[in-house]
Structure 1
Amino acid sequence: MSLPKLYYSSMQVKQGEVDAANASGVEMFTLMTRAGQAVFSVLTQSYPNAKRLLVCCGGGNNGGDGYVVAKLALEQQWQVTVWHVGDTEKIRGDAKRAYQAYLEAGGVVTKPSDSLANFDVVVDALLGTGLKGPVRSERLALILAINDSCLPVVAVDIPSGLNADTGAVMGCAVHASHTVSFIGLKQGLVTGKARDYVGTLHFDGLGVEKAFTQQCQAKVHAIPYELLALLRAPRSKSAHKGDFGKAVLVGGQLGMGGALMLASQACIRSGAGLTATLTHQANIQASLVACPEIMAGDWQDDALFEKRLNWASAVGIGPGLGCDEFAKKRLNQVQSMALPKVLDADALTLLSLYPNVDHNRIITPHPGEAARLLNTTVQTIEADRYRAVMSLQKRYGGVCVLKGAGTLVCSGDEVYVCTNGNPGMATGGMGDVLSGILTALLANKYSLEQAALLGVLLHSCAADEDAKINGENGLLASDLFAHIRRLINKN
């Protein structure tokens, strides 16, 4: 069950699976049977010693899948308990057929009870992809009980309570250990809060995925790991430093020099031929000690500032910039240039106060900065990250990188999601490192979209490389530097 790189809305899958089944000559009940078999396969492979199974079913097709799983487990001599939420008399269509097949195999269906103490594993088939409003009443109580039990959970298609289109939690959601999704991966499974609930994601196309992908155009794409190959083209034997771009990083107000130092070192480690900084005079000595290869200059020197901008191939501005009148002046100077540029951190705060459109820049907000840029709340941003990143790109131009779990990249109509990265990245300076990487790639003449996709991927993969060796806790932004270089040069 390798994971596809294309993601779809719940409506696309709902409509497309019928057309795909018809095109493939497959009955819809056969798809339900295959879905149940796929879940049971994950169940037995992941928990080979489990024998006491609880299957929680709702009244829709998701519940029908659950009944198929329950029947398969029953036939394999498992101790099977099925709890059905709702009136079994209202089960319709293929779900009813699966329900009746389970009963004919000797299965019993009961209402949920108060205790989950007598089970080894739970199959969540309560709510499918059609959920739009908050989880309520009996379903809410059962989801809370499942989570409180700390039992391993295999979710059918999507953890109950999760919005399939946005990844938002609709009041509460099942914390799954594994999620088995079918036919087309739902875009809500891979970004935002969903990454706390999905567990290990599995996919099964049920034999109709080829017909489905031919008929349905994906709305969201994964950033493929293979894209890193673009960074690994061998350099000419006669190459010189000027061939690989001149990057300038602007920031580092008094007391905030560390942010710019991280950005500039990430920049030079990402392949920029020449890297210069323009910063507060108090940061220059520390910068030269930390990395003498970076040319550090005083940003209060107007002539030097102008000279560096005219020299640069690309500019990154924002880490430690501050938001005072001087910072605003320097940002305006950068924005007046036709150069490709990266805006991050304090530059985004200033952009929210003085909005403008620039089609030759990358902006890299985290959810808090995104909320300011769109004059809304963090909760609204996180409730629909796809809508947020598209709104940001439309309002400000260029390319938008919406950071967070499942970072999103949007350059117009299409959205890309990064499926790499880990929670250890939730630490100070990580965004500064990303800004440096992006500036280096722009200086190397990658397009805005290429730079954004490559930069986000390289940043996340470097963090994953370090976490594999040292664990997630205690991961520092500067720990990424060595891995960035290794990833760029890996054969």
Structure 2
Amino acid sequence: MNNYLYTAEQQKNIEEKSNKELGISDLTLMRRAAEAVIEEALSRWSKLRKVVVYCGSGKNAGDGFIVAGLLANRGIAVKVVLVGETKKFGLEAIAAMRFCEHTDAEISTDCNIGNEDLIVDAILGTGIGRIISGTYLKVIETINKAQIPVLAIDVPSGLSVDDGMILGAAIRADLTVTFVVKKKGLYTGKGTSIAGEVVFKDLGIPSQLRHPTNTRLLQLDECLLEIPGRDRDAHKTAFGHVLVVGGDYGMGGAVIMAAEAAFRSGAGLVSVATRDQHALALLLRQPEIMAKGVSDDTELDPLIERATHVVLGPGLGKSEWSRWLYTKLISAGKSGVLDADALNMLAESPKDCSDWVLTPHVGEARRLLNGDKDSNRFSILSRMQKKFGGVSVLKGAGTLITDGKTITVCPYGNPGMAVAGMGDVLSGFLCGLLAQGMPLFKAAQTGVVLHAYAGDEVASKTGERGLMATDLIPVVRKLIR
């Protein structure tokens, strides 16, 4: 399956190439798109009686006109609302409107919504590059207030398909039927919230015209295949020794969660360097983990020497003790995962992190980039990796991972995972995989996917509300067994 992701410009080039080389016209693509939309709509809302289709002034409107006409020919009452100016229509959109006019569909400029069963969004497509305003803004707000299902054609109007950002306002769709290529912005950032279910249709354009890009969607099955097998006569040292460092006063739970996640994801040994008072709690909860209270180099140095990989940051804090630990570990020549307050300290004094996986959320990433206000997740990720080296993970809806050459996008995860401790558990999973010999990039991708997929598994059984970070740990263990 082609899981590469594309920009609006790349889609345009592919459509032009299909026209030039294969003779597939824009009008043919519109017809195929409309048929695909109707197929998906009727499979979900089989008892449709009344539909309203909102049309803008570009090719997206042409899709909408044909959808409206074909639905009308099926005996469904259809109202087409003209939002854009017809004088801006291209030849294909004009032809599509003429087709619609010869059916029983009603064409109107009345933007009010009645008792329709379905709203079809054909207002703005992939070519938009401006902030939504005026009539378009009012129509989008009206649609979003209606308690009626929304189907977006190709992309929800107002969403930037290149980066997942909302251009002032955007349609909140229940279903998005997208065409020709899978678009980057549908799978990360706000795109994950407003696109609803995303269904891809290639419209008959052969796969060879969709050349690989440097951005692609990850899948659980491919990530599971990357996890190394185990010899029957293996020893625990063959699977690495993870050292989790952090847990300042009042934050001992963070290192406990990270350590348990590292163990359950397959590390052979796991140690923890933390405050004295947290070591006992950890031993009582998980005696297999070697917990040590540390306050000086003589206590810490042996732990560093034995470790093959390090998780630095969970509950680390900002005290003198915290900074001592950070300074020791960041210069110890180890490989591992940087998270939480370790990232904030790195922001204060940047250094090369070629042997580390950095796992910030957007706020931490901006601090790493000197307070930059950039909202483009792809740009933030790439600039961060370029500055620090190694592998960067930008957490959030549609988590992004890069090694500086390839960007991968995690399609799993849910809002229930927006709770304390999720980052600590993720760090543990990542380092547990590193300890088993996986390269930085593959470990980061696999760990992110396992973490997010496990969150979906838990949510599917018990719901999103009340989901806790530790709920994911037994699920991941089952996935990788």
Q: TM-score, normalised on structure 1?
A: 0.95
Aligned-pair RMSD on alpha carbons? 1.4
Structure-2 change in CA distance of 1:272 and 1:72 (3 Å):
same
Among 453, 457, 460, the alignment partner of 1:461 is: 453
Per the alignment, residue 145 of structure 1 pairs with 142
Per the alignment, residue 386 of structure 1 pairs with 378
Match of 1:53, as an amino acid?
V
Among 153, 161, 166, the alignment partner of 1:169 is: 166
User: Does residue 408 of the first structure (1) align with residue 400 of the second (2)?
Assistant: yes
Per the alignment, residue 417 of structure 1 pairs with 409
Deviations 1:131-173 (A, max 9, x none): 1111111111011000111210110000001111111111111
Deviations 1:463-485 (A, max 9, x none): 11111211111111111111011
User: Does residue 256 of the first structure (1) align with residue 251 of the second (2)?
Assistant: yes
Q: Distance in 2 between matches of 1:134 and 1:32?
A: 26
Q: Distance in 2 between matches of 1:129 and 1:291?
A: 52
Match of 2:96, as an amino acid?
A
Match of 2:480, as an amino acid?
I
After the TM superposition, which residues 91-110 of structure 1 pair with which residues of structure 2 at under 5 Å, given as runs? 91-110=89-108
Match of 1:458, as an amino acid?
L
Q: Is contact 2:312-2:337 (8 Å) kept?
A: yes
The residue matched to 1:42 in structure 2 has which SS? helix
- The alpha carbon displacement at 1:233 in A equals 5.2
Per the alignment, residue 41 of structure 1 pairs with 39
Unaligned runs of 5+ in 2: none
Q: Distance in 2 between matches of 1:221 and 1:346?
A: 30
Q: Distance in 1 between matches of 2:316 and 2:415?
A: 26
- The alpha carbon displacement at 1:307 in A equals 1.3
Q: Distance in 2 between matches of 1:156 and 1:268?
A: 45
User: Does residue 54 of the first structure (1) align with residue 49 of the second (2)?
Assistant: no
The residue matched to 1:473 in structure 2 has which SS? coil
Q: Distance in 2 between matches of 1:46 and 1:218?
A: 32
- The alpha carbon displacement at 1:231 in A equals 5.7
Q: Distance in 2 between matches of 1:469 and 1:107?
A: 43
Per the alignment, residue 464 of structure 2 pairs with 472
Among 277, 294, 299, the alignment partner of 1:304 is: 299
Structure-2 change in CA distance of 1:385 and 1:120 (3 Å):
same
Among 326, 332, 336, the alignment partner of 1:337 is: 332
Q: Distance in 2 between matches of 1:141 and 1:272?
A: 55
Q: Distance in 1 between matches of 2:329 and 2:227?
A: 30
The residue matched to 2:302 in structure 1 has which SS? helix
User: Does residue 226 of the first structure (1) align with residue 218 of the second (2)?
Assistant: no
Q: Is contact 1:70-1:80 (8 Å) kept?
A: yes
Per the alignment, residue 68 of structure 2 pairs with 70
Deviations 1:349-391 (A, max 9, x none): 11111111221100000111112111235xx44x310111101
Q: Is contact 1:52-1:121 (8 Å) kept?
A: yes
Q: Distance in 2 between matches of 1:90 and 1:266?
A: 57
Deviations 1:278-316 (A, max 9, x none): 000110100000100000012214123111111111111
The residue matched to 2:193 in structure 1 has which SS? helix
Q: Distance in 2 between matches of 1:279 and 1:358?
A: 23
Per the alignment, residue 280 of structure 1 pairs with 275
Q: TM-score, normalised on structure 2?
A: 0.97
- The alpha carbon displacement at 1:204 in A equals 0.4
Per the alignment, residue 28 of structure 2 pairs with 30
Q: Distance in 2 between matches of 1:24 and 1:206?
A: 13
Aligned residues: 481
Unaligned runs of 5+ in 1: none
Larger mean CA deviation between 330-339 and 280-289 belongs to: 330-339
- The alpha carbon displacement at 1:40 in A equals 1.1
User: Does residue 366 of the first structure (1) align with residue 358 of the second (2)?
Assistant: no
Among 83, 89, 112, the alignment partner of 2:87 is: 89
After the TM superposition, which residues 422-441 of structure 1 pair with which residues of structure 2 at under 5 Å, given as runs? 422-441=414-433
The residue matched to 1:419 in structure 2 has which SS? coil
Structure-2 change in CA distance of 1:226 and 1:186 (3 Å):
same
Q: Is contact 1:184-1:209 (8 Å) kept?
A: no
Deviations 1:435-485 (A, max 9, x none): 111111111111000110011011111111111211111111111111011
Q: Is contact 1:161-1:172 (8 Å) kept?
A: yes
Flag as ranges the 4+ runs of structure 1 deviating above 4 A: 231-234
